[in-house]
Amino acid sequence: MTPAAFAYSRAATVDEALDLIAAGDPATRVLAGGQSLIPLMKLRLARPERLVDVGRIGELRGIRDLSGGGLAVGALTTWAALLEDPRVTRYGALADVLPVIGDVQVRNRGTIGGSLAHADPASDIAAPALALEMELVARSAARGERTIAAADFFAGAFATVLGPDEMLLEVRLLGAGRSAASAYVALPQPASGYPIAGVAVSLTGTPGGAATTGCVIGVTGVGEQQYRAYDVERSVVAGTPFADAAKTIAAGQRVASDIHADRDYRAAMAVVMARRAFDAAVARQG
Ligand SMILES: Cc1cc2nc3c(=O)[nH]c(=O)nc-3n(C[C@H](O)[C@H](O)[C@H](O)COP(=O)(O)OP(=O)(O)OC[C@H]3O[C@@H](n4cnc5c(N)ncnc54)[C@H](O)[C@@H]3O)c2cc1C
């Protein structure tokens, strides 16, 4: 399949890109690594009239240290670049996600910002983004810059709170201590590798999981959109053993059902992945 005809512009700077999308026309789309958008265009599931290619904007690439021990990751940073950076291993759930995304080609081209902005309800990155409470920095020419908590970013399947005139610039991981023990575990769909159920758990508290003072859980692949399992989090902090609390991880969600996994199986796998992610996070405590 070939895409429908479209106009193409390449932006050299962030300001230039923001000017090109400033009209807020939803038929104009930003192109980053193209690993989600181009396949959709080839299938004609997306028909943008204009692409603004941001793929060569150097200022959007790379990882820098933040004061306080955190990291700022440029939106155009590829999975491969994240995999190669030893600082990323401080964030267990993020480090776990990187090798399981796609294949070498996808990891060399696909970007963290593109994946978050695409908001596939089964994207792997959504779970660690939620569990590590990543902060997403966005900018538009008209309204300037704002910081969005990952928990407020996703707005449905393939939808985010970003406006059509807005770009994601940076993803911030806060001080390492805040999420010193985290893990991501997923059951991949064998053909595509996307998670049937993927859960990231971030823990603070006594090593060994004996007394958990903080628990943040991000779930992907299960519901119609990625979500924080707030009820399970509260229950764990209140003292309920994780294995019991996790039984309700899919409760209240419109659990997805397809040829790969029906609702009951997917919900059951969410519980199993949550328990495994918790055990892996506990093993990293201390
Ligand atoms: C064969 C294959 C296997 C894959 N397997 C997996 C997998 O197992 N798990 C998984 O999670 N993902 C998987 N992916 C998806 C891949 O991780 C994402 O496609 C990729 O990371 C998206 O980033 P991109 O730079 O390619 O985005 P693009 O395709 O360029 O853009 C995606 C969307 O985000 C928007 N966008 C991009 N950058 C920005 C920005 N800075 N600001 C605002 N909007 C922006 C675009 O307008 C578009 O709507 C797979 C993809 C392929 C092709």
Q: What does 96-124 look like in DSSP terms, one character per residue? A: HHGGGSS-HHHHHH-BHHHHHHHT-TT-T
Alpha-carbon distance of 177 to 171, in angstroms, equals 18
Residue 86 has pLDDT above 70, yes or no: yes
Candidate from 101, 185, 219 with most ligand 1 atoms within 8 A of CB, to mutate: 101
For strand 28-31 and strand 50-53, is the pairing parallel, antiparallel, or unpaired?
parallel
Is residue 29 lining ligand 1, measured as CB closer than 6 Å?
A: yes
In this structure, which residue's CA is closest to atom 25 in ligand 1? 33
Closest by CA position to 148, among listed 204, 13, 220, 163: 163
Count of CB atoms within 10 A of residue 118's CB?
18
Residue 210 has pLDDT above 70, yes or no: no
Q: Are 36 and 115 in contact (CB under 8 A)?
A: yes
Going along the chain from its start, the domains and CATH numbers come out as: 7-53 (3.30.43.10), 60-173 (3.30.465.10), 179-284 (3.30.390.50)
Is residue 37 lining ligand 1, measured as CB closer than 6 Å?
A: yes
Candidate from 53, 112, 118, 219 with most ligand 1 atoms within 8 A of CB, to mutate: 118
Alpha-carbon distance of 150 to 66, in angstroms, equals 18
The contacts of residue 279 (CB under 8 Å, 6+ apart) are none
Long-range contacts of 84-91 (CB under 8 A, 24+ apart): 87/63, 88/63, 90/176, 90/180, 91/128, 91/132, 91/173, 91/176, 91/179, 91/182
CA torsion, points 150, 62, 71, 179, in degrees to nearest 10? 60
For strand 195-205 and strand 181-188, is the pairing parallel, antiparallel, or unpaired?
antiparallel
Predicted pLDDT at 179: 47
Does the model's pTM come out above 0.85? Answer: yes
When computed from its CA atoms, the radius of gyration of the chain, rounded to whole angstroms, is 19
Tokens linked to 52: 């603004």
CA of 111 to the centre of ligand 1 (A): 6
Predicted pLDDT at 206: 67
Residues of the chain with pLDDT > 90: what percent?
A: 90
Is residue 200 lining ligand 1, measured as CB closer than 6 Å?
A: no
CA of 190 to the centre of ligand 1 (A): 19
* pLDDT tens per residue, range 235-275: 999 999 999 999 999 999 999 999 999 999 999 999 999 99
Alpha-carbon distance of 190 to 220, in angstroms, equals 16
